[in-house]
Amino acid sequence: MTAAPQIPLRLVESLRKVDRVAVLTGAGTSAESGIPTFRQAQTGLWSQFSPEELATPMAFAENPKRVWEWYAWRRELVTKARPNPGHLALAQLARRFPQFTLITQNVDGLHQQAGSQEVLELHGNILRTKCSREGRVVEKWTDTPAVPPPCPHCGAHLRPDVVWFHEALPQETLDRAMAAAASCQVFFSIGTSTVVSPAADLPFIAIRNGAVIVEINPEPTPLTESADYVLAGPSGMVLPELLTCLA
Ligand code: APR
């Protein structure tokens, strides 16, 4: 039985009974906003570049200009992008549960633009810039031909405020995400290939806590066989359908 093309009735009935929901989103959630994902063959960002060349402290140390310019290109894409119906549905869904925790691996800020509050950004935010030496966020700097621009306080290179491979995630954010995964009654994993830890560990923490696991992804992932519900469609379609079923 389904309540809508993609939504099993049993899932809707379970959701009507719970208070605590946690959601983990990945790049797939922003795909319908025109932002490339990372690992999709051909269209994914990592099909043209390798993560090691661009998204590591070593890559930045070796060629800060190339890394800064790649993020400037991605920032351009992000500033042109708008939240899609999936982002908007998640912001609405939050109002239906007393405890709703939105955890994202995305750095595009589209959840906040869609109206989601208290988004746990595990991998930072591409629209924020920080000093590569002091780590503090820098909101403005003088126009300069230097690429990357120097920190106005100490002169070191500025860098995007995102978490690179081999870097630690913001500890307080990660702790809150893990606590939500460990205490939720339903865990949604949406638009993520579930391959990059510690984010990819969160659904498995939820499984150990006995939560109902819902995966929304057109493709299978390492989580798929452990999920209670697999909604194999684009999040921009499935989430509005889910919201309608819960109305
Ligand atoms: N709706 C839902 N899922 C989708 C959609 C869509 N419209 N389009 C694609 N997907 C799925 C793909 O099937 C894939 O499983 O989204 C997933 C995107 O996976 P990745 O490109 O690996 O992105 P993500 O899982 O967010 O990557 C995790 O790795 O590169 C690092 O730091 C980066 O945060 C990123 C992390």
For the stretch 91-109, pLDDT in tens is 999 999 999 999 999 999 9
Count of helix runs (H) and strand runs (E) in the chain: 11, 10
Q: Collect all residues with Cβ–Cβ distance below 8 Å to 236 and sequence separation of at least 6.
A: 32, 84, 85, 86
Q: Which amino acid is at 161?
A: D
The Cα–Cα gap between 13 and 1 comes to 12
Contacts of 124 (CB under 8 A, 6+ apart): 107, 160, 161, 162, 163, 170
Domains and CATH numbers, the chain: 1-35+83-123+168-247 (3.40.50.1220), 36-80+126-162 (3.30.1600.10)
pLDDT tens column, 135-164:
999 999 999 999 999 999 999 999 999 999
pLDDT in tens, 203-235: 999 999 999 999 999 999 999 999 999 999 999
Tell me the sheet residues that pair with 231.
216
Ligand 1 lined by 26 (C-beta under 6 Å): yes
Structure-token match 């999936």, residue found: 86
Query: Are 186 and 160 a contacting pair, CB within 8 Å?
Result: no
Nearest CA to ligand 1 atom 35: 105
3-state helix, strand, coil in the chain (%, to 5): 40, 20, 40
Is 116's C-beta closer than 6 angstroms to any atom of ligand 1? no
Task: Verify whether residue 123 is a known catalytic residue.
Answer: yes
Ligand 1 pocket test, candidate residues 45, 105, 164, 235, most atoms within 8 A of CB? 105
How many Å apart are CA 66 and CA 184, to the nearest integer?
A: 41
Q: Which of 187, 217, 221 is nearest to 204 (CA)?
A: 187
Judge if the beta carbon of residue 219 lies within 6 A of ligand 1: yes
When mean pLDDT is compared across 49-58, 167-176, 229-238, the lowest value belongs to: 49-58
Q: Given this model, what pLDDT does residue 3 score?
A: 59
Q: Is 74 in the pocket of ligand 1 (CB under 6 A)?
A: no
Q: How far apart are CA 43 and CA 77, in angstroms?
A: 14
- Asked whether residue 38 carries a pLDDT value surpassing 70, the answer given is yes
Q: How far is the CA of 5 from the centre of ligand 1 (A)?
A: 23
Is residue 18 classed exposed, middle or buried when 0-12, 13-18 and 19+ CB atoms within 10 A define those classes? middle
Q: What spacing in Å lies between the alpha carbon of 134 and ligand 1's midpoint?
A: 31
If you measure from the C-alpha of residue 38 to the centroid of ligand 1, how many angstroms do you get, rounded to a whole number?
A: 6
| Ligand 1 pocket residue status of 71, Cβ below 6 Å | no
Flag whether pLDDT at 36 surpasses 80.
yes
Residue 220 CB less than 6 A away from ligand 1: no
